[in-house]
Structure 1
Amino acid sequence: MAGSVMSEVTVIEGAGTPVEAGPPRAVKLPPRPPIPKPVLGVAFLTSRRWTIAQIARIVRSYGSVFTLNLPVFGRTVVVGDPQLAKQLFMANTEDVGNIQPNLSRVLGPGSVFALDGAEHRRRRRLLTPPFHGKSIKNYEKIFEEETLRESANWPQGQAFPTLKPMMRITLNAILRAVFGADGEQLDELRRIIPPWVTLGSRVATLPTPSRTYGRFSPWGRLAEYRSRYDLVIEKLIDRVRADPNFENREDVLALLLRSSYEDGSAMSHKDIGDELLTLLAAGHETTAATLAWAFERITRHRDVMSRLVAEAATDDNEYRQAVICEVQRSRTVIDFAGRHVYSPTLELGEWAVPQGYSVLVSISLMHDRAAEFPDPDRFDPERFIGARPPTFAFIPFGGGTRRCVGAVFANVEMDVVLRTVLRHFVIDNTAAPAEKVHSRGVAYTPKNGGRIVVHRRKTPLAQEDSNNR
């Protein structure tokens, strides 16, 4: 697609006047840093975030926007400015669609990631109800139960990484929210999902091979996981449909099975499987990574820990929410949100990006902007108390019509998990150096897993507070 467009226009990088060639199209691209493509390719595949940050420093005089030719995504405009991000996220969905390629390579063609335009809007309408309002309140008890179950055997007085326990908590919580109950099939999903998500996260940003090269290759193993998953989902669908209480069930699978589009048609079992996989994969790894970062951060800030503990003994959560937001800002788990340009040109400020290009909003660059976040290297939850940053300056869940459908679910889950741990454990402060950022492929996690040292409280905080009153 991009090749045919480029034959009709002359692309001008940096300042200058657009030159017409064929149909008039005012194409004007941001500057391209003079980095050899092989060097850029190796650097980007090795460490996306570091590469984008270094290029941003090199081209600081250009502003927070530049052009690159990237592996996998091809010709790309990288944006680190809230106003340009707003233009992109608010653009007509017929003009821009999801980044190509995207996670549907791993999650399946029926995933919301694979859909654009009207089809994407129709699917989001079906997915939104289970993740808002009353449904979320119903899940809070699940979040607390899973946290207590996982933390029951935590070692006391010795350091341990929180990432894996958080992975188990968030996976079990999303499994229960999606399927409504435990059982043999959910045990099988617990065996399949973690290694599948880990492998899928690592290969999702790599070029797709022309064939899988058998079950010993990464793509072959993904196909094997998918085959096992499809069998489990069919059994679960049959079980849920056979439930005498089917019409009153509030789990996500039952809601999807009962829902229909405006024309009365229903989702196919294959699409439901792809969508549930999207919720399971996206809904547990990124949330767990953020929680691991939260524990890593608060153990290094005694004043923050003290305020969190005091608040955990009450029903308030204003400061805890501010801490979660500051963790998401300072330790961004997903580093970009992308779109693909379908219109002849897409206006972004003074620039006009041609059809066939990708546009990546660098979330990590946005969250490090001193204009919106003074002294951005400082961990300071007070930024989110009272006045909040502009909407498009803080985008941990992406933005626009493709903003994460499970954002509210994830936010409440992180709040409840953090509160529950604080109520039942004393977490030691540490003077250890901050953990470095580690790439798992798609998500970024603490390099050492967010290690903490805990001691179980004799009496949970909430009970102490109640007794004092």
Structure 2
Amino acid sequence: MSEATIAAHRSTADAESAPPRPVRLPPTPRIPKLLQGLGFSFSRQWTVAQIVRRYGDVFSMTLPVFGPTVMVADPALAKQLFMANTDDVGNIQPNLSRVLGSGSVFALDGGDHRKRRKLLTPPFHGKSIKNYETIFEEETLREAANWPEGQPFETLEPMMRITLNAILRAVFGADGAHLDELRRIIPPWVTLGSRLAVLPTPHRTYGRFSPWGRLAAYRRQYDDVIGRLIDAVQADPDFDTRDDILALLLRSTYEDGSTMSRQDIGDELLTLLAAGHETTAATLGWAFERISRHPEVLAKLVAEAETDGNEYRQATILEIQRSRTVIDFAGRHVYAPTFELGEWVIPQGYSIVVAIGQVHKRAQDFDDPDRFDPQRYIGQRPPTFAHIPFGGGTRRCVGAAFANVEMDIVLRTVLRHFVIETTAAPGEKMHSRGVAYTPKDGGRVVMRRR
């Protein structure tokens, strides 16, 4: 063994044996814990923004559900957190698995999480997504056939239906009675689950008339449908050549040759359906709200939609994601005895939450951040950890590319077939649906067919 290798081993051993640095927490707002919790529960974006303004980009809070927490609004610290060793900081606790199930990728950590992501990645990249573009266009035109002309209407709910139907077709590969059942079950389940996900979980459901009881009832209906769908897909003579996500997951194996259980597949599909359609629809709702208030942006989008290009449309999507952040936080849980975050030392058991909405509004990274300006991305990409609508690191949204292509095709299709009227009305306020933020009035616009 060389001297250099011996020295390296000695250095590693010394680092592992060295005592952890003393805990050093960021400042805590001089606000009673009860008021901190209430503010975060009922108006978290406003609350965090006020504290950032007074205490800076890193501070400590005690939050409902998550407990003692360090909030971060600095891209450099966000990068450090997202790129950290997953043995030191892992999945935030509790997480969306409370609603989506223990087999969801949201529930997994460490090696189990890495293995699951490896199975989920192929259906959401490259050629697979290219195959879905026709679905996105067809579903947009099918929904748009019933849009009123010349009078205001909310775009959010139509976008919910488009994105749900598109992902149902991409997941299951066809229409049918089973998918009609899911179209009935998923929307109210997502709305209820999104609200309950940010609240403490009770020890029991308190019966079928309670919110948690209704959530459990939706889950039982869903499990029944998914069980029948899996049977139908596996019995399909063309099972080995199907390219829908359900078939791909059923055929996929881990490195040791094992497969996902039916329960895990059900949880994972529920995750894709719930997380994949609401957030994308919310961003599209904001897209119509924003472009109808910025005539110069709309004019450029209309001109580009007549071509095969999408540079300005992609820039517009990036700016919508920045200026109207739909999912405003992403977090990790400290598993190591201590975790060094910049100058701070965070103890085991703490949560560290990146305030994505605040990261997106930093004047240091975005000139005049309150201005809606897609042009800022023409010819350049946004700073990697200053623009994080899909989170970052090993837990970045696995369906990010799918969502991006879907938003691009839906916008292009609408722009090609409709004239969107501009308005001088004030911008819609942000409305919390629990996990996601949507336009308060549903992204109301007036359209006419071309």
The answer to whether TM tops 0.5 is: yes
Structure 1 position 140 matched with structure 2 position 133: yes
Corresponding residue of 2:424: 431
**Partners in 1 of 2:66 and 2:54 — Cα distance?**
21
Query: Aligned partners of 1:417 and 1:387: how far apart in 2?
Result: 24
What's the offset of the Cα at 1:269? 0.1
Distance 2:116 2:336 in 1: 23
1:374 alignment partner in structure 2:
367
Which residue of 1 is the match for residue 205 of structure 2? 212
Q: Which residue of 1 aligns with 2:390?
A: 397
Q: Could you state the TM-score of these two structures normalised by the residue count of structure 1? A: 0.92
In 1, distance between residues paired with 2:231 and 2:275?
Answer: 25
Distance 1:386 1:98 in 2: 35
Matched, 1:81 2:74: yes
Alignment partner of 1:311 is 2:304: yes
Partner of 2:325: 332
Which residue of structure 2 lines up, in the alignment, with residue 463 of structure 1? none
Task: Name the amino acid aligned to 1:283.
Answer: G
Contact 1:79 1:361 in 2 (8 A): yes
Give the Å deviation of 1:234.
0.5
- Distance in 1 (alpha carbons) for counterparts of 2:65 and 2:441: 29
Structure 1 equivalent of residue 11 of structure 2: none
Q: Could you report, residue by residue, the CA deviation over 1:3-23 in whole angstroms, capped at 9, with x for unpaired residues?
A: xxxxxxxxxxxxxxxxxxxx6
Q: Which residue of 2 aligns with 1:65?
A: 58
1:28 equivalent in alignment to 2:24: yes
8 Å CA contact 1:79, 1:85 repeated in 2:
yes
Q: Distance in 2 between matches of 1:306 and 1:378?
A: 18
Task: Provide the C-alpha distance between the structure 1 equivalents of 2:201 and 2:253, rounded to a whole number of angstroms.
Answer: 34
- Tell me if 1:47 matches 2:43: yes
Once residues 383 and 394 of structure 1 are traced to their aligned partners in structure 2, the CA distance between those partners, rounded to angstroms, is 12
Structure 2 residue aligned with 1:17:
none
Residue-by-residue CA offset, 1:235-266 (whole Å, 9 max, x unaligned): 00000000000000000000000001010000
Aligned amino acid, residue 34 of structure 1: R
Q: How does 1:204-283 map to 2 (within 5 A)?
A: 204-283=197-276
2-structure distance, mates of 1:228, 1:263: 33
The residue that corresponds to 1:116 in the other structure is 109
Mapped to 2, the partners of 1:232 and 1:171 lie a distance apart of: 16
Give how far 1:25 is off: 3.7
Q: 2-side partners of 1:32 and 1:42: how far apart?
A: 16
Distance 1:92 1:26 in 2: 20
Gaps of 5+ in 1: 1-22, 458-469
Maintained 8 Å contact 1:89/1:401: yes
Structure 2 partner of 1:407: 400
Report the secondary structure of 2:333's partner residue. strand
State the AA in 2 paired with 1:109.
Answer: S
2:441 corresponds to: 448
Q: Post-superposition shift, 1:436?
A: 0.5
Give the unaligned 5+ runs of structure 2: 1-18
Write out the 4+ residue segments of structure 1 that deviate beyond 4 Å after TM superposition. Answer: none
SS at match of 1:417: helix
Tell me the secondary structure at the aligned position of residue 393 of structure 1: coil
Give the deviation of 1:24 after TM superposition: 4.9
Distance 1:58 1:104 in 2: 34
Q: Which residue of 2 aligns with 1:344?
A: 337
Query: Paired residue for 1:291?
Result: 284
Residues 71-108 of structure 1: CA deviation (Å, up to 9, x unaligned)? 11100000000100000000001111111111100000
Q: Is the 8 A contact 1:65 1:80 kept in 2?
A: yes
- Give distance in 1, aligned partners of 2:301 and 2:197: 36
- 1:229 maps to amino acid: Y
Inter-partner Cα distance in structure 2 for 1:408 and 1:176: 17
Q: Give the whole-Å Cα distance in 1 for the aligned partners of 2:272 and 2:445.
A: 28
For the pair 1:175 / 2:172, whether they are aligned, the reply is no
- The residue matched to 1:283 in structure 2 has which SS? helix
Kindly report the root-mean-square deviation, in angstroms, between the aligned alpha carbons of the 2 structures. 0.9
Q: CA deviation at 1:389?
A: 2.4
1:361 counterpart SS class: strand
Residue 33 of structure 2 is aligned with which of 34, 37, 43?
37
Aligned 8 A contact 2:59 2:70 in 1: yes
Measure, in 2, the Cα distance between the counterparts of 1:231 and 1:377: 47
Write the distance in 2 (CA, Å) between the matches of 1:334 and 1:219: 23
Q: Say whether residues 1:100 and 2:93 are aligned partners.
A: yes
Deviations 1:103-129 (A, max 9, x none): 100000000000000000000000000
Aligned to 1:90: 83
Aligned to 2:15: none
In the TM superposition, what is the alpha-carbon distance from 1:43 to its structure 2 partner? 1.0
Quote the Cα distance in structure 1 between the aligned partners of 2:220 and 2:127: 34
TM-score by length of 2: 0.95
CA contact (8 A) 1:25 1:344 kept: no
Question: Take 1:152 and 1:436, find their aligned partners in 2: how far apart are those partners?
Answer: 28
CA distance in 1 between counterparts of 2:205 and 2:177 reads 30
Report the Cα distance in structure 2 between the residues aligned to 1:351 and 1:25, rounded to whole angstroms: 10
Cα deviation, 1:159-191, whole Å, max 9, x if unaligned, reads 000000000000000000000001111000000
* Aligned residues of 1:140 and 1:416 also touching (Cα < 8 A): yes
Distance across 2 between alignment mates of 1:401 and 1:161: 36
Is contact 1:98–1:338 with CA below 8 Å preserved after alignment?
Answer: yes
Partner deviation per Cα, 1:351-388 (whole Å, 9 max, x = no partner)? 11111000000000100000001111000001111122
